[in-house]
Chain A
Amino acid sequence: MSKRREFLSGIRDELPILLGVTPFGMIYGVLALGAGLTPLVAQAMSAIVFAGSSQFLAVKLIGTGAPPVVVVITAFIVNLRHALYSASVAPHIKRLSPLWKGLLAYLLTDEAYAVAITRYNVPYPLSPNPSGDGMEDRGQHWYFLGAGLALWTCWQASTAVGIFLGTQVPASWSLDFTLALTFIALVVPALKDRPAAAAALSAGVVAILAYGLPYKLGLIAAALVGIVVGMWSETKWKRSG
């Protein structure tokens, strides 16, 4: 497949996901202004950090006066999962130039990864290469680029729309509640098994108990406890069958 066709298919396959991403970007923009960020800072965060959930959390923490180091640590923990995506795509793009690698790393979001990895995992029907390790890049990086750029553009644009709405909406509308609702919508389907539910519940309880901790450290404490409880219960339940 030609570069152009790979690029355009990447964009096309990303489109359905953009429908779901657009409201997130808009809500982020509204919340960012509600937390006291200027429109420029709110938009810059979408370009510089470019990671939805960590931006929501950063805005929340900044709005409640948490110190910068807590904002940074929280963003770091939440974004650690991208290391898995990095490890997953690394063998496929190892022969690309440093410039390509640098660019694709920047575009490596949940949504771009989800689409791009499916392209790499599809066997290439036109030129089977039985001697290879199945990891060769035959132009799929253009597909990756198309998917990544489509998501990037959508995220920046929906942030801008949210920022605009944020300047129009009065505080009495309780729009800050959309943060909790967004996270509820994300977390409920993720509670697929008992260890995940145990992680969520323990983190929630610790977050309440540790709410009074200084510097908003309760969130980090709760996250770490949840992760440990999740791993521990996974081991325990696996053993007991």
Chain B
Amino acid sequence: METIWITLAVAGLLTYLIRLSFIALLGKWTPPEWVSRALRFVPPAVLTAIIFPEVLIRDGQLAPANPRLLAGVVAALVAWRTKNVVLTIVVGMAALITIQILLGS
């Protein structure tokens, strides 16, 4: 239980220091161009690195034929067409539940 609090404190402190960084530097120094270029790719890289295992791996094994992959594809189509976050989540969950019911699992 202690460990989780230390983890929280360190993660929180680092996040705060990142946010404070350039503000504390009084705007005297701006990040080099390559840093902004690199940071642009953080969201697509990190988000997909979470999504792929979530929909492709079940019980530690690669399982391309599983309900979550199909529901994930449906959700991706909704996100692509509508850009609506709530709708994407609702349709994705509905797809997963429907597939699970159809498969009787």
Contacts and interface: CB of A to CB of B under 8 A. Distances in A.
Given A81-B39, A177-B93, A231-B37, A186 B47 contact: yes
Contacts of A94: 26-27
Interface in B9-59: 9-12, 14-16, 18-27, 30-31, 34-57
A114 interface: no
A23 B85 contact: yes
Contacts of A48: 8-9, 11-12
Contacts of A29: none
Interface stretch (A8-16, A83-91, A117-125, A159-167): A83-91
Contacts of A83: 18-19, 21-22, 31, 35, 39
Main secondary structure of the interface of B (DSSP, over half): helix
B85 A50 contact: no
Contacts of B80: 188-189
B42 A41 contact: no
Contacts of A224: 45
B8 A181 contact: no
A105 interface: yes
Interface of A: 20, 23-24, 27, 37, 41, 44-45, 48-51, 53-54, 57-58, 60, 62, 68, 71-72, 75-87, 89-91, 93-94, 101-102, 104-106, 108, 135, 174-175, 177-191, 195-197, 199-208, 211-212, 218-219, 222-227, 230-231, 234
Given A181-B89, A204-B48, A211-B57, 10 more contacts: A53-B46, A86-B23, A101-B23, A106-B16, A180-B51, A184-B75, A189-B80, A190-B44, A196-B41, A205-B52
12 contacts: A45-B12, A62-B4, A76-B11, A77-B46, A80-B42, A84-B31, A86-B21, A174-B97, A184-B88, A186-B85, A199-B44, A200-B44
